[in-house]
Structure 1
Amino acid sequence: MNFGQAISACLSKYATFSGRASRPEFWWFFLFQVLASIAASLVGERLNGLVSLALLLPALAVGTRRLHDIGKSGWWQLLLLTGIGFFVLLYWWAQPERDGALAYEA
């Protein structure tokens, strides 16, 4: 999956929290978020806020699908609220996919 395909897939599944997301899909969308945020912040704070708000739901959705791909529940993203939990999630998001059926796949 390339950069354009990942962005298209994530935005077409804007609020789809079921299923799986591959590592390339997740990381390409993460890069898109960072670049969009930087570009929007150069224009103005208000635009940066709007872009961040618009990309929040697809980011949570692709993060959940990525966790499903390694056999974890999407609820683990609540670790982001602790600050230090980001490093745990970063480790999990970098893991290879697990084969077989997952309990969290709907």
Structure 2
Amino acid sequence: MSFGEAVSTCLRKFADPNGRASRAEFWYFYLALLLGNVGAFLLATLVSIVVPPVGGGLFLLILVANVVSLIPLLCVQARRFHDQDLSGALVLQPVLPGDSAGLHVPGGHARPQPPRPRSTMGR
């Protein structure tokens, strides 16, 4: 999966945590969000140096865009968990207070996996 395909797939499945996501899809989308944030932050910083009132508005716009981008990020992360045969509800585990609030995520703990044999080809 290419960079563009991964980003378009994640944006097309904006709020759909169902299904599976490949490793490339998850990391390319994460990279796109990271590069977008760095670029937007640099642009807002440069604009705020030249025209301070406009720069403050750009930082507010970046904050709103980051909050909105959490939805597809959490959904692609849930699909990535599904690809690893884990519950997609694991994306909520760092956010919610866990068992102290009476929440128990079924299948929330990863099963220990035996180590995979390493390939010796090309050595």
Question: Under a length normalisation based on structure 2, what TM-score does the superposition of the two structures give?
Answer: 0.62
Once residues 68 and 6 of structure 2 are traced to their aligned partners in structure 1, the CA distance between those partners, rounded to angstroms, is 17
Once residues 85 and 7 of structure 2 are traced to their aligned partners in structure 1, the CA distance between those partners, rounded to angstroms, is 23
Task: Say which SS state the counterpart of residue 94 (structure 2) adopts.
Answer: helix
* CA displacement, residues 52-80 of structure 1 (integer Å, 9 cap, x when unaligned): 12211000100000000001111111233
Task: Say which SS state the counterpart of residue 65 (structure 1) adopts.
Answer: helix
Please say if residues 64 and 74 of structure 1, whose CA atoms lie closer than 8 Å, have aligned partners that are also in contact: yes
**Range with greater deviation from structure 2 (47-56 or 2-11):** 47-56
Once residues 68 and 60 of structure 1 are traced to their aligned partners in structure 2, the CA distance between those partners, rounded to angstroms, is 12
- In the alignment, structure 1 residue 26 sits paired with structure 2 residue 26: yes
How many pairs are equivalent?
A: 83
Once residues 11 and 72 of structure 2 are traced to their aligned partners in structure 1, the CA distance between those partners, rounded to angstroms, is 6
Please say if residues 37 and 51 of structure 1, whose CA atoms lie closer than 8 Å, have aligned partners that are also in contact: no
- How far the C-alpha of 1:45 sits from its partner, in A, is 1.8
Once residues 95 and 68 of structure 2 are traced to their aligned partners in structure 1, the CA distance between those partners, rounded to angstroms, is 19
**Range with greater deviation from structure 2 (68-77 or 40-49):** 40-49
Once residues 36 and 74 of structure 1 are traced to their aligned partners in structure 2, the CA distance between those partners, rounded to angstroms, is 26
Q: Over alpha carbons, which structure has the higher Rg?
A: 2
Aligned-residue sequence identity (percent) comes to 41
Partner in structure 2 of residue 11 of structure 1: 11
Q: Give the residue type in structure 1 aligned to 2:94.
A: L
Q: Give the residue type in structure 1 aligned to 2:28.
A: W
Q: Give the residue type in structure 1 aligned to 2:62.
A: N
Partner in structure 1 of residue 79 of structure 2: 65
**Range with greater deviation from structure 2 (64-73 or 47-56):** 47-56
Partner in structure 2 of residue 85 of structure 1: none
Once residues 61 and 34 of structure 2 are traced to their aligned partners in structure 1, the CA distance between those partners, rounded to angstroms, is 14
CA-atom RMSD in angstroms: 1.7
